[in-house]
Amino acid sequence: MKSSVRILLLSLGFLFVAVSCKKTVKTEEQPVDTYVADHYTKKEVDIVMRDGVKLHTTIYSPKDTSQKYPILMQRTPYSSRPYGEGNFRTKIGPNEILMKEGNIIVYQDVRGRWLSEGHYENMRAYIPNKTSNDQVDESSDTYDTIDWLVNNVENNNGNVGVWGISYPGFYATYATIDAHPALKAASPQACIGDFFFDDFHHNGAYLLSYFRATSLFGTPRPNGDQPIDTAWYTLPELPTQDQYQFFLDAGPLKNLDHFFEYDTADTPTMRPEGVTDDYFWNELKDHPNYDAMWQSKGLIQHLKDVKSSVATMIVGGWFDAEDLSGPLETYKNIEKYNKGNYNTMVFGPWDHGGWARTVDRNVVGNYYFGDSISLFFQKKIETKFFNHFLKGDGSPNSGLPEAYVFDTGRKEWKQYDTWPPTNASKQTMYLSEDQELTSQPKSTTGIQFISDIKKPVPYSEDIKTVFTPRKYMTDDQRFAARRSDVLVFETEPLAEDLTLAGDILANLKVATTGTAADWIVKVIDVHPADTETNEEMQDHLKMSNYHLMVRSEVMRGRFRNSFSDPEPFVPNQKTEVDIKLQDVFHTFKKGHRLQVQVQSTWFPLIDLNPQTYVDNIFNADESDFKTQTHTVFTDSNIEFTVLK
């Protein structure tokens, strides 16, 4: 008994000492960065648009008024906070160099968001040939804003540039259409081009991994859509960290409606069946095909008349899981339809917005690409672009190339006069028997696999719940290669370097026992066994035999002939399905293998296809989901763009 008491007293003593020590530990306070407050004055104004709606705008002007400065503007749906003229951001502008050089930096809440008046429309449709002041879009709002700024902000030099990443990149692209004469430079970065091919869809397949992002764009503002300075939306909270199991257990998409029934004071609790309070979720559900609604919101088709007075520099990341189609298609369409415009592209080894970060080691997921790559971009490319067109002579001779692109295999920058490079050509490889990827077709046969809807192929081996996916773009694909429902085709170890520089087209010949199916193609760089492991690698992985995913894409089979008019498969009938994979710039080095994987599920990156045809997968019932047997024929091929 005495021993027990002694042990208890000793334990309490240790606990007291531990608690006492914990109380005396001082955390080192980080110094507050006051550079912006020290060097800039801040002003908040409400700029009146042509239809009378006021847009809340924040203006940071250099305190040094001995010279005139250009205006650099970002329009955003994500808030121009912090609000209040005494509250400053710690960083402003596209990068720290441009901030410290001195520029007038402007942020604006777009129409219908935060402290701006009006009603928000997700990807507001462009209105050509406007006939009245009541016809407004993001182009007219940008024009009216620039017009006010150049006429009312002191010490501006009359030149304006716009930039933005992701959704703000969409607004930066929008600014180039019917552009104000003062707009001299635009840098759309990771810019959304069309929500049927970026972010929430890929080739018509719904990206279930973006589920939690829905309410960010579809929650109505309270109090009759009045301006508000605090977040009025909340992200759905999943009751688990295992999103794969959660969505598998949830079943059909319509079972997720309850996450978007907000029952706020402004929304009635009695709603029609299948209609939620979230207008973006309703749009997704009601428009499963590329109909007039999606087509009107797409911006790519309106880039045929970008003003020649606006220099454009499109920026993107080769491993951007969110917006890769948008920046590539934005560059290509401006280039195609606006001969003589200054239009360039910069693509590096980044995930979404990685080029704006100030990190020394540039890593995407597990994969290390080199040091100071983003810092190089900010100093030698982005700053040079804006300074030339906003402070310099603005001539076409900017000192920057047409295409500044990073080879993600060799891990080095290259410069080209065109993209793809003029010395690139098409090379076809065939999906042959015995897991071979061959330069010549062999005998034609069918390779079958069972697509079990109860055990879909994961897109990542990580157990996680994410807001939007990023890391998977460079994930090791060994976990998938070892599944029976993933077909693998690969070359022998390469005898010499092979550089892919441009788009990829998968020409599949397939069949299914059902009437619907998705088809996913992944292009993979299989590393040699002696490859050294970098410090960022997850503990359970090694770089030895690492299966680096270089590019991947899905085609929802119903859209194989038309994104607007879907059609079922005829069971067991051989059918062509073409899948365009976005551009790459990657060298498969000598000793590496080029591998292609083909599968039909990719969960929960994309939603589960019932594998029986229904008019709208968002309305599918549990009974519609069927396990099917799929076939890939060995006369299928992949057309690569190869640099000679």
Q: How far is CA 67 from CA 41, 341, 377, 394, 550, in A?
A: 15, 30, 27, 19, 47
* pLDDT tens per residue, range 229-271: 999 999 999 999 999 999 999 999 999 999 999 865 454 444 5
In a 13 Å sphere around the CA of 68, the CA atoms on its Cβ side amount to: 13
Per CATH, the homologous superfamily of domain 424-643 is Galactose-binding domain-like (2.60.120.260)
Residue 272: pLDDT band (50, 70, 90) is low
Tell me, what's the pLDDT at 12? 38
Residue 620 contacts residue 613 (beta carbons within 8 Å): no
Decide if pLDDT at 275 tops 80: no
Quick check: 60 pLDDT over 50? yes
572 with 513: CB under 8 angstroms?
Answer: yes
Give phi and psi for 90, each to the nearest 5: -85, -20
Q: Quote the radius of gyration of the chain (alpha carbons, Å).
A: 27
| In the chain, where the domains are located | 34-194+298-416, 201-296, 424-643
- Listed residue (204, 159, 574) closest to 389, CA to CA: 159
Tokens at 69, concatenated: 């400065």
Measured CA to CA, the distance from residue 169 to residue 175 in angstroms comes to 10
Q: Which of 270-284, 409-423, 532-546 has the lowest mean pLDDT?
A: 270-284
Tokens of 492: 């022998």
Count the helix, strand and coil residues of the chain and give each as a percent rounded to the nearest 5. 25, 30, 45
Determine phi and psi for 374, rounding to 5 degrees: -70, -40
Span of 60-74, 274-288, 381-395, 445-459 with lowest mean pLDDT? 274-288
Contact 75, 39 (CB under 8 A): no
Q: What average pLDDT does the segment 47-52 reach?
A: 98
H-only helix segments in 196-324: 214-218, 222-225, 243-250, 279-286, 292-297
Question: Quick one: DSSP state of residue 224?
Answer: H
pLDDT at 183 (0 to 100) = 98
- pLDDT, residue 374, reads 98
Percent of the residues in the chain that have a pLDDT greater than 70, as a whole number: 94
Distance from C-alpha of 493 to C-alpha of 490, rounded to nearest angstrom: 9
Q: What is the mean pLDDT of the chain?
A: 94
pLDDT band at 132 (very low <50, low <70, confident <90, very high): very high
Q: Is 94 helix (H, G, I), strand (E, B) or coil?
A: coil
Tally of CB atoms within 10 A around 333: 20
The model's confidence at residue 19, banded by pLDDT at 50, 70 and 90, is very low
81-110 pLDDT, tens per residue?
999 999 999 999 999 999 999 999 999 999
313, 377 Cβ separation under 8 angstroms = no
CB atoms under 10 Å from CB of 638, counted, come to 23
- For residues 81 and 281, give the distance between their C-alpha atoms in angstroms, rounded to a whole number: 26
Model confidence at 298: pLDDT above 50:
yes
Q: Contact 532/543 with Cβ under 8 angstroms?
A: yes
pLDDT at 26: 52
Tell me, what amino acid is at 530? D
* Model pLDDT, residue 270: 45
DSSP 409-465: TTTEEEEESSSS-TTEEEEEEEEETTTEEESS-----EEEEEE-TTSPPBS-SS---
Distance, C-alpha 524 to centroid of its chain? 20
- Label residue 305 by pLDDT band (50, 70, 90): confident
8 — pLDDT class (breaks 50, 70, 90): very low
Q: What is the mean pLDDT of residues 443-457?
A: 97
Q: At what angle do helices 325-337 and 167-175 cross, to 10 degrees?
A: 10
Whole-number pLDDT of residue 117: 98
| Tokens coding 444 | 């034609």
**Residue 451 burial (C-beta neighbours within 10 Å; 0-12, 13-18, 19+):** buried
Tell whether the model's pLDDT for residue 23 goes beyond 90.
no
What's the N-to-C CA distance of the chain in angstroms? Answer: 85
Secondary structure of 325-356 in HEC code, one letter for each residue: HHHHHHHHHHHHHCCCCCEEEEEECCCCCHHH
- Predicted local confidence at residue 16, as pLDDT: 36
Angle at 640 between CA 634 and CA 644, to 5 degrees: 130
pTM attached to this predicted model = 0.93
Residue 11 pLDDT: 41
Report in angstroms the alpha-carbon separations of 5 from 1, 11, 13, 555. 6, 10, 12, 71
The DSSP annotation for 444-458 comes to: --EEEEEE-TTSPPB
Q: How confident is the model at residue 32 (pLDDT cuts 50, 70, 90)?
A: confident
What is the mean pLDDT of the segment spanning 257-286? 78
In the CATH scheme, what architecture does the domain 34-194+298-416 have? 3-Layer(aba) Sandwich (3.40)
Cβ atoms of 609 and 516 within 8 Å: the answer is: yes
Extract the tokens encoding 401. Answer: 């190339």
303 pLDDT more than 50:
yes
pLDDT of residue 467: 86
Closest residue by Cα to residue 451 from 557, 525, 553, 526: 557
What local confidence, expressed as pLDDT, does residue 264 receive? 55
How sure is the predictor about 27, in pLDDT bands with cuts at 50, 70 and 90? low
431-435: Cβ within 8 A, 24+ apart: 431/487, 431/489, 431/596, 431/598, 431/632, 431/634, 431/636, 431/637, 431/638, 432/489, 432/634, 433/634, 435/487, 435/488, 435/489, 435/490
| Two structure tokens written together for 132 | 């009245």
Largest CA distance in the chain: 95
**Element holding 198 (H helix, E strand):** none
Which residue, chain included where needed, has tokens 């042509």? 50
465-508: pLDDT as tens digits: 988 899 999 999 999 999 999 999 999 999 999 999 999 999 99
Q: How far apart are CA 440 and CA 94, in angstroms?
A: 48
How many CB atoms within 10 Å of residue 376?
Answer: 17
Topology of the domain covering 201-296? alpha-amino acid ester hydrolase ( Helical cap domain) (1.10.3020)
Query: Can you spell out the DSSP letters for 506-540?
Result: EEEEEEESSS--EEEEEEEEEPPTTPPPPTTS-TT
The interaxial angle of helices 167-175 and 138-152, nearest 10 deg, is: 70
Is there a contact between 40 and 61 (Cβ–Cβ < 8 Å)? yes
Burial 112-136 (b: 16+ CB within 10 A, else e): bbbbbbbebebbbebbeeeeeeeeb
